[in-house]
A and B are shown apart, each in its own frame.
Chain A
Amino acid sequence: MTSTIDASTSDPVAASVSARSYGENFYWLLNVRLIIGLTIVMVLAVGSFILPLFNTVDPAAQATYWKNLPVSWEHLLGTNALGQDIFWFLVYAIRNSLMLGFVVALGVTIISTIIGLSAGYIGGAFERVVMLFVDTFITIPLLPVLIILGAVIRGNSNFLTVGFIIIIFGWAWGARTVRSMALTLREREFINMARFSGANTMDILMREIFPYVSAYLLVGFINTVLFAINTEATLAVIGLSKVEIPTLGSIIFWALSYNALFTGNYVWIVAPIVATVTLFVGLFLTSTGFNAAFASKRGVS
C-alpha cells in the first residue's frame, strides 16, 4: 500500500492506471467477497438459532399438519407428504447442520494443528511416521468407510457419532497444510532467536509458530465446516445418517423418498437445495475472503 501512495505522488497518471488494473479492482473484489459471504452466513446462522425460540412444535414430528399444503402465511413453505412444516424443518436443518459443522471443525482443527505443528517442528523419524499416516488417511476414500460404519452402527447411532467419525477421517488434510507451514517457519530467524534465548519446544510452538499459523487456521476452520456439513448431508441423502434429525441432507432424503417432484411438491426439494447452495457459497466466499485479506495483510499479494 505504501508503495502505491509513494508512486501516486511522483507519477499520478501511471499510478492510477496500475492501481485500477490491479490494486483497486482486486481490493474491491476481496472486500465484496468477505462482506457478501459473512452476511449470508450470519443471516442464516443467527436466523436458524433464534427462530426456533419462537417455535413450539417439533418440526420432525409427523402428521402435525395436513399433508402437502401449499405455500401460505401459516406455512411459509407449505407442508410435506409427512405432514411436517417445510419452513420449520428447514430452519432446524440449517441449525443442526451448522452445529455439526462447527463441532467437527473444532475437533479437526485442534487435532490437525497439534499433529501438523509437532510433525513439522520435531521432524526426523517422528515426522516420517506421522506423514505416512496422514498420506494414508488422505488416500482412504471416505464414503466407503462411512457406509460400512453406517451399516454397523445402524439404529444405534446418534447424531454425534456421525460427527465423531467425520473427525477421525477429516484431520489429515489440515495436518498436511499446517506441517508444511511449520516446515518453512522452522528455518526462520526469529525461531532460532527464541531457541537461543532459552525457550523450549512447547514455548516456541505456542508463542512463536502458532500466531503465524492462526490466520490459516481460521480459513481451514471454515473449509472444514463446509466439509463436515457436506459429508453428513451426503450420508443422509443416501439414508445412512440419522435421517430422523433435520439436516440439510435428511430433508432431501425425505423429499426424494416420497417423490416430492412426482407429487408436484416442488418446494419440498427446491427450498433445501436453494438453502444449501446459499449457505455453501456464503461459507466459501467467507473463507476465500479471509484468505485474501490475510494474504494482503502479510504483503503476499
Chain B
Amino acid sequence: MGVVQYIAKRVGLYFAVLFIGLTITFFLPRFMPANPIDGYIGELQSRASGSLTSEAIAELRDNLEQLYGLKGDLFTQYVSFLNRVVLHFDFGPSFAFYPEPVSNIILNALPWTLTLLLTTTVLGWALGNMVGLVAGYFHTRKLATLLEIVGIMIYPIPYYILAVSLIILFAYIIPIFPLSPTFPVGDISLSKIWLIVYNSLLPAMALILAGFGWNILSMKALAVATTEEAYVTYARLKGTSHWTRMVRYVFRNAMLPQVTALALSIGTVFNGALLTEILFSFPGVGLIMRTAASGGDYNVLYGAITVSIVAVATAGLVIDLIYPLLDPRIRHK
C-alpha cells in the first residue's frame, strides 16, 4: 500500500466517522424516553405555579420546537440539522445566553480546551514512554520493576479519583494551588498569562498523570520485546553505547505501536480533558457542557458534542497522517 492510498483511505474513514458520529448524536437523544421540551415546559409551569393556559403552552411548544429544530418529522429534522451544522456551522442561539449564537460560545471555549489537551497529551505521552522505555530496556534490573509497579498502581485508578486526590493534596493539605482557580478574560497581558499558566498547572498535572500509567506499562512491554531483537544484540556487539541502543534502536521501533495507540485513545484523552475542566473549573468546552446540561441548553450541548467529535476525529487523522513519516516501511512500499 503506497502513501497516496494510505492517505486516501484514512481521509475517507475520517469523513465516514464524522458522518456516522453526527448521525448517532442526532438520533440517540430523540429515541430516549424523555422529551426535553416537556421537561422545560413542566419547569416553567411549576415556576408559574400552574397559571399557564393551554393556548399559551401550545404556543410555547411551537416556539421551542422551532428554536430547537424539532419541527417536522424526524427525517426533515435530520436533513435540516446536517444542513445547518455542516454547511453553516450554525447551532442556533443559546438558551441561557440568548441570543448569543452557540458557535460563538464554543469558539471562545475551544482554544482553552485545545491548548490544555495538546500540551498535556504531548507531555504525558513523552514522559510515560520515556519511563516505560527505561523500565523496559533495563528490565533485568530491580529498579525497572519499581518503575513498573508505579505504572501498575497509577494505571487502573479512575481519572476522577486522580483529579480529586490532587485537589485534596495540593489545594487543601499543601495549599500551593488555589482551590477555585481564576482565569481572566479579555486582552492578554504578561501578568495574565502567568496567572493562567499558574492556575492551569494542577489540571495539567492531573491529565499528564492520567496517561502516564498506561504508557509506562505498554512501552515497557514493547521495549522488553524489542531489546531482545537480533539487531539490538548486533548493535551491542558493534560497541554502541546504551544511550544509542536505547533511543535509536529500541525506541524508534517500539514507538510505532504507541503512536497508533495514541490515535485510538484520543477519545478517552478528550473525555479526561472535559472532566478536568468540570472538576477544576477550567473555562473550556467541558465546563460549558456541564453548565448547559444543568440548564437544559440543548443547542449548546449539540454544538459542543459536534465540535468534540470533529476535534477527536481530526486529532486521530493528524496522528495517522504523521505515521508514514515515522515508519519508513509505509513510504518505501
Query: Is A bound to B?
Result: yes
Within 8 Å of chain A (Cβ to Cβ): is B200? no
**Which of chain A's residues have a CB closer than 8 A to the CB of B168?**
261, 269-270
Complex contact B21–A140 (CB within 8 A): yes
One of B25, B33, B156, B267 near A148 (C-beta < 8 A): B25
Q: Are B164 and A283 in contact (CB under 8 A)?
A: no
Task: Name A288's closest neighbour in chain B (CB-CB).
Answer: B152
Shortest CB distance B168–A (Å): 7
| B-binding segment of A105-113, A203-211, A226-234 | A226-234
B29/A238 in contact, CB under 8 A: no
Out of A143, A270, A277, which one reaches B271, CB within 8 Å? A143
Q: Which A residues touch B146, using CB under 8 A?
A: none
B34-59 interface code vs A (CB 8 A; 1 in, 0 out): 10100100000000000000000000
Stretch at the interface among A54-62, A129-137, A193-201: A129-137
* Selected contact of B270 from candidates A141, A154, A261, A273, CB within 8 Å: A141
Question: How many angstroms between the C-alpha atoms of A153 and B33 in the bound complex?
Answer: 7
Q: Is B160 an interface residue (CB 8 A)?
A: yes
* Residues A152 and B309 in contact in the complex (CB < 8 Å), given A136-B20, A237-B160, A281-B156: no
Cβ of B33: which chain A residues have Cβ within 8 Å of it? 153, 156
Assess whether B308 is interfacial by the CB under 8 Å rule. yes
Q: Are B290 and A273 in contact (CB under 8 A)?
A: no
**What's the Cα separation between A229 and B160 when bound, in Å?**
12
Contact B293 A155 (CB under 8 A): no
Of B156, B267, B275, B286, which one neighbours A140 at CB under 8 angstroms? B267
Return chain B residues, CB-CB under 8 Å to A143.
270-271, 274-275, 286
Question: Interface centre among A133, A145, A280, A283, by most B CB within 10 Å?
Answer: A145
- Which of B28, B140, B270, B292 is close to A151, meaning CB atoms less than 8 Å apart? B292
Contacts of B91 in A (CB 8 A): none
Query: Does A114 belong to the interface (CB within 8 Å)?
Result: no
Query: Which residues of chain A have C-beta atoms less than 8 A from B294's C-beta?
Result: 151, 239
| Majority secondary structure, B binding face | helix
Is B193 engaged at the interface, CB distance under 8 Å to the other chain?
no
A273, B308: Cβ atoms under 8 Å? no
Roughly how many angstroms separate A168 CA and B31 CA in the complex, as a whole number? Answer: 13
The A-contacting residues of B in range 284-333, CB under 8 angstroms, are 286, 289-290, 292-294, 296, 298, 301-302, 304-305, 308-309, 312-313, 316
Residues 260-283 of A, flagged 1 when their CB comes within 8 A of B and 0 if not, give: 010000000110010011001101
* Cβ B34 vs Cβ A153 within 8 A: yes
Cβ-based interface call for B24 (8 A): yes
Interfacial chain B residues near A283, Cβ < 8 Å = 156
Known: A151-B292, A261-B172, A276-B158. A141 touches B271 (CB 8 A): yes
Chain B residues with CB under 8 A of A148? 25, 29, 289, 293, 298, 301-302, 305
User: Is there contact, CB below 8 Å, between B158 and A234?
Assistant: yes
Q: Contact size class for B?
A: 35 or more
Q: Is the CB of B25 within 8 A of A277?
A: no
Among B13, B160, B267, B298, which residue has the most Cβ atoms of chain A within 10 A?
A: B160
Q: Please determine whether B13 and A144 come into contact, CB atoms closer than 8 angstroms.
A: no
The residue in chain A whose Cβ has the minimal distance to the Cβ of B153 is A281
CB neighbours of B164 from chain A (8 A): 237, 252, 256, 269, 273
Complex alpha-carbon distance, A138 and B279, angstroms: 24
- A256 vs B55: C-alpha distance when bound (angstroms): 43
Say yes or no for B86: interface residue by CB 8 A criterion: no
Inter-subunit contact B305/A154 (CB<8 Å):
no
Quick one: given A144-B304, A145-B25, A238-B278, are A151 and B296 in contact (CB under 8 Å)? yes
Q: Given A135-B13, A151-B298, A284-B152, A140 and B140 touching (CB < 8 A)? A: no
Query: What chain A residues lie within 8 Å of B268 (beta carbons)?
Result: 141-142
Known: A139-B312, A144-B289, A238-B275. A226 touches B16 (CB 8 A): no
* Nearest 8 Cβ contacts at the A-B interface: A284-B156, A143-B271, A151-B293, A280-B156, A144-B305, A136-B20, A230-B158, A141-B267
The residues of A with any CB-CB pair to B shorter than 8 Å are: 21, 132-133, 135-136, 138-145, 147-156, 168, 226, 229-230, 233-234, 237-240, 249, 252, 256, 261, 269-270, 273, 276-277, 280-281, 283-285, 288
A-B contact pairs, 14 of them (CB 8 A): A135-B17, A139-B266, A141-B270, A141-B308, A148-B302, A148-B305, A154-B34, A155-B39, A234-B159, A273-B161, A273-B165, A280-B158, A281-B152, A285-B152
4 additional contacts (CB under 8 A) given A139-B267, A141-B271, A154-B296: A152-B32, A269-B168, A276-B157, A277-B161
